[in-house]
Structure 1
């Protein structure tokens, strides 16, 4: 009769059932890492697309028959078509000087995209410049 309590203690101290807990914890970790990688990839994609739009619109606005207003509108169209109008909210274009040359500079500020309900409140900033073309006399 004294063997029964010993058997109960031995059953409680075994590894039975630990595989389920181990699997659950491991899968939670793997899913978390996967979501972080997806978030980083999406933010990098948005940043690259914004950089492309800024550079392309600066080149477009630097043509002989264009200007900063044309560059700004082109950037807004590119960002809206490529990503979403949400990212086209803060776009500016102006004429400036760089190393003695007139350039068109396009600046784009957009929120960092997030996957899921957690916003980080950070802003991406990117810009593009192009030398202004001039008519030769």
Structure 2
């Protein structure tokens, strides 16, 4: 009867000795893994910021195109609208250039109209955010709107 108890005690003693050698390994594991997790999380946050900036530029370019496409509106209305829209979200000096021009788009023959269509095209250039909103290079967004003709 004493034999099974000795086996249990020796197994428990061996398990304690095996785990005793692992003390202090958790802080080392944390120190090795945490920088990788932090880099991954910060990279995802920066990617989402870059996508948000690009979406905001597209929206502002579309709003500028609609403002310049109104009947009797000058093309400078696009620049004013884009800069005003982006001043509230990205800051007043974030945009590099805003250009607006009339572009002719050919329509398909046999559809509702056979004449060419004239649209307002607005291009917005801003820096591509790499670290926060600070960035290098240019991120370009284009917006279009059909030009309204007055009576």
If the length of structure 2 is used for normalisation, what is the TM-score? 0.73
Q: d(CA) in 2 for partners of 1:18 and 1:64?
A: 72
Residue in 2 that maps onto 1:50: 57
Larger Rg: 2
Cα RMSD (Å): 2.0
Residue in 1 that maps onto 2:121: 105
Specify whether residues 116 and 131 from structure 1 end up closer, same or farther in structure 2 by C-alpha distance, changes over 3 A only.
closer
> Where in structure 2 are there 5+ consecutive unaligned residues?
1-20, 107-115
Residue in 1 that maps onto 2:28: 21
How much does 1:116 deviate? 5.4
CA contact (8 A) 2:123 2:141 kept: yes
**Aligned pairs, how many?**
123
CA contact (8 A) 1:67 1:104 kept: no
1:42-71, Cα deviation, whole Å (9 max, x unpaired): 101111100000001101110002131111
Is 2:72 the partner of 1:65? yes
If the length of structure 1 is used for normalisation, what is the TM-score? 0.80
1:75-110, Cα deviation, whole Å (9 max, x unpaired): 121112221123222111112212221111110111
Q: d(CA) in 1 for partners of 2:74 and 2:120?
A: 8
Is 2:142 the partner of 1:127? yes
CA contact (8 A) 1:71 1:106 kept: yes
Q: d(CA) in 1 for partners of 2:63 and 2:124?
A: 12
Q: d(CA) in 1 for partners of 2:60 and 2:99?
A: 12
Q: d(CA) in 2 for partners of 1:59 and 1:80?
A: 18
Q: d(CA) in 1 for partners of 2:136 and 2:87?
A: 21
